[in-house]
Amino acid sequence: MLLKSIIRKTLGVKRHRVKEVNFNDGAMVIKLDIRRGCKQPCGTCGVMGRVRDRLRSRSWRHAPLWGMPVTLTYAPARVTCPRCGKVRVEAIPWSQGKNRLTVGLIWMLSDWCKLLPWQQVAKLFGVHWSTVAAAVRQAVAYGLAHRQMGRVLYVGIDELSQRKGHVYVTNVYDLQQKRLLWSGPGRTQETLRAFFREHGAALCDGIQAVCCDMWQPYIDMIKEQLPNAALIYDRFHIMQQLLRAVDTVRREEAIQLKKTNPDLLVRTRYIWLKNVENLSDAQRSRFNYLEKLNLRSHRAWLLKEGFREFWEYAVKSKARDFLQRWFWWATHSRLKPIRDFAWTIRRHQEDILNYFDLPISNGAVEGLNNKAKVISHRCYGFRTATNYITALYHCLGKLPEPVLVHKFA
């Protein structure tokens, strides 16, 4: 097969021909031209029209071939469009708009960016970092414009730290498809309002349940925008708050014991936080000694272990009865952190009990958040939230890609 035939097939051109191929300083320069007598599609509506004249020659950076940089040169034609009634520039099959990267190179760079840092991809292909960033942005823009939302029933909402200093992005996930639906900077009511404003009533009317943590700005916005959806608090976040209360009791008690027995609670944090079946032999031996001393930490541990039973109920009414009993034990424990947690549970009790109607959790969200953290760590962070959100959409959004004549990656 001739080199010109390979080039024509990989570009997928029918109304154009490869005029000549030159080699300049180790780079391949391919000059293209239109076929005589062929009509060309209008760049606006796609209707075929007669060629009127030609513009000045332009160049496009194409996917490398056999390790050589490839550049396409072509003088675009202007056509008389019968539908528009005006003279338009033709639709160039290997390009999008006025972009100087070919479609093949854009998707080749964007595919590699799912595996490698953007800077590494730029070095690998000998392009500038901004070129790679532009390719990813175009891939994401295409995917968002062509993705089918379908029927979204269950949504998970969580915040993710972008960098140090309490800088967050809010992510909205489809819990069924395990994909990122939307991401925006911040974790305020206005941040979440932007999601509802962007996706409109069509998507929101189909949502049956929203799973999130007990962050009040999220709660207020969800109840305002989705009054008919069930609000379910993530069980893992609830248990995380309880573990934080248990650890607070341990730290307060360790401070009180500094004068009398400073080494008693040293290195016992995970003894109280772990599930009892997960304790190592050494931890279990020390726990057996500590539980005989009537420590405040042990009382907090007993309440924590008792609360685990709550998630094992299959009937909502039984779970409600248990929660009432546990609330009385917690509020009479004389442990302020546990008492504060119990009152938090009481304030959100009805929404917590929704879990027994729809037992969904943010387990998939936590898994996707871990992938998002890997994306950030792999690139040593992102300076702006815009680039970070673009990378999240690109890797976690399951966005569609165009069907190319030839896949270079």
> What is d(CA 210, CA 196) in angstroms, rounded to the nearest whole number?
13
Range 257-269 average pLDDT: 90
Spatial neighbors of 151 by CB under 8 A, at least 6 apart, are 206
Strand partners, 211: 156, 232
Q: Hey, CA dihedral for 344, 346, 347, 353, is it positive or negative?
A: positive
Among residues 36, 32, 17, the alpha carbon closest in space to that of 73 is found at 32
> What is d(CA 65, CA 125) in angstroms, rounded to the nearest whole number?
11
Listing DSSP states for 259-292 in one string gives: TT-TTTTTT-HHHHHS-GGG--HHHHHHHHHHTT
pLDDT of 164 strictly over 80: no
Place of tokens 């190592």: 280
pLDDT of 178 strictly over 60: yes
The pLDDT, as a whole number, for residue 340 is: 96
Secondary structure element (H or E) that encloses residue 33, with its range: strand 27-34
The pLDDT, as a whole number, for residue 406 is: 65
pLDDT classification of 373: cutoffs 50, 70, 90? confident
Range 377-381 average pLDDT: 81
Segment 194-226, tens digit of pLDDT: 999 988 777 888 889 998 888 889 999 999 998
pLDDT of 364 strictly over 90: no
pLDDT classification of 248: cutoffs 50, 70, 90? very high
User: Helices (DSSP H) in 99-187: which residue ranges?
Assistant: 103-112, 118-125, 129-146
Range 248-258 average pLDDT: 93
Q: pTM value?
A: 0.82
Segment 6-15, tens digit of pLDDT: 888 888 888 8
pLDDT of 1 strictly over 60: no
Share of the chain above pLDDT 70, in %: 98
The pLDDT, as a whole number, for residue 405 is: 62
Segment 287-334, tens digit of pLDDT: 999 989 989 999 999 999 999 999 999 899 999 999 999 999 999 999
pLDDT classification of 172: cutoffs 50, 70, 90? very high
> What is d(CA 179, CA 393) in angstroms, rounded to the nearest whole number?
9
Among residues 58, 2, 56, 69, the alpha carbon closest in space to that of 29 is found at 69
The pLDDT, as a whole number, for residue 404 is: 74
> What is d(CA 175, CA 210) in angstroms, rounded to the nearest whole number?
9
Share of the chain above pLDDT 90, in %: 47
Range 32-47 average pLDDT: 89
CB burial of 212-248 (b: ≥16 within 10 Å; e: otherwise) equals bbbbebbbebbeebbeebbbbbbbebbeebbbebbbb
SS3 for 65?
A: strand
SS3 for 72?
A: strand
Range 370-376 average pLDDT: 87
Average pLDDT, the chain: 89
Q: Which two tokens stand for residue 191?
A: 């941040």
CA-based R_g, the chain, Å? 30
Segment 80-129, tens digit of pLDDT: 999 988 899 999 888 887 888 888 888 999 999 999 999 999 998 888 89
The pLDDT, as a whole number, for residue 394 is: 94
Among residues 185, 177, 173, 244, the alpha carbon closest in space to that of 212 is found at 173
> What is d(CA 356, CA 114) in angstroms, rounded to the nearest whole number?
38
pLDDT of 72 strictly over 90: yes
Range 336-352 average pLDDT: 94
